[in-house]
Amino acid sequence: MRLGVLTVSDACSAGEREDLSGALLEGWAAEQGHAVTRRAVVPDDRLTITRTLLDWSDADEVDAILTTGGTGFGPRDVTPEATRPLLDRDAPGLADRVRREGEEATFFASLSRGLAGARGRVFIANLPGSPGGVRDALAVLGRMLPHVVDLLAGGGPDHTPPGPEASS
């Protein structure tokens, strides 16, 4: 699977903070045997986020894009607003499941406003900006992502649930 990893953070893009969440996503991708074909760190700027997602999803170089950061209630948290107009189909149940998974670790997980859905044949999901939030999201997405990407590529619907080993 070809992945894009987009970190949305003013502090990380300015070099003021290390991008731990993006690095976590890259490490997870390598462990799963996925190729990170696109990687960037951008500020919390709606137009920059939208342009990056458009470029990546329309270039036929990724099967899925995982963003991290910008999903909260801060005044500069605009990742969902930058993502929403690009989605042809949304997957609110999947985004809700990611939030529910996070609630086991932190009371504030339900404040995440991340979206999940598809633009053409590319799956896009907004993950929280914290490493813990990314881990919680991967506990759900790690199991679902191969199936979703296969469906978007025109694969047949296999409704056999993945085993727990896919979530690591």
Residue 110, number of CB atoms within 10 A of its CB: 12
Residue type, 21: S
Q: Where is pLDDT greater, at 164 or 132?
A: 132
What does the domain layout of the chain look like in residue ranges?
Answer: 2-167
When pLDDT is averaged across residues 121-144 and rounded to a whole number, the result is 96
Q: How many residues does the chain have?
A: 168
Q: Specify the pLDDT at position 168.
A: 46
3-class state of residue 133 by DSSP = helix
| CA distance linking residue 44 with residue 76, whole number of Å | 6
pLDDT above 50 (res 167)? no
List, for residues 11-62, the tens digit of each pLDDT value: 999 999 999 999 999 999 999 999 999 999 999 999 999 999 999 999 999 9
Cα atoms in the 13 Å half-sphere on the side-chain side of 72: 14
Q: Specify the pLDDT at position 151.
A: 95
List, for residues 68-119, the tens digit of each pLDDT value: 999 999 999 999 999 999 999 999 999 999 999 899 888 888 899 999 999 9
What tokens appear for 99 in the block? 């939030």
Alpha helices in 33-111 (DSSP H): 46-58, 79-83, 92-103
For 2-167, CATH number?
A: 3.40.980.10
Q: Specify the pLDDT at position 25.
A: 98
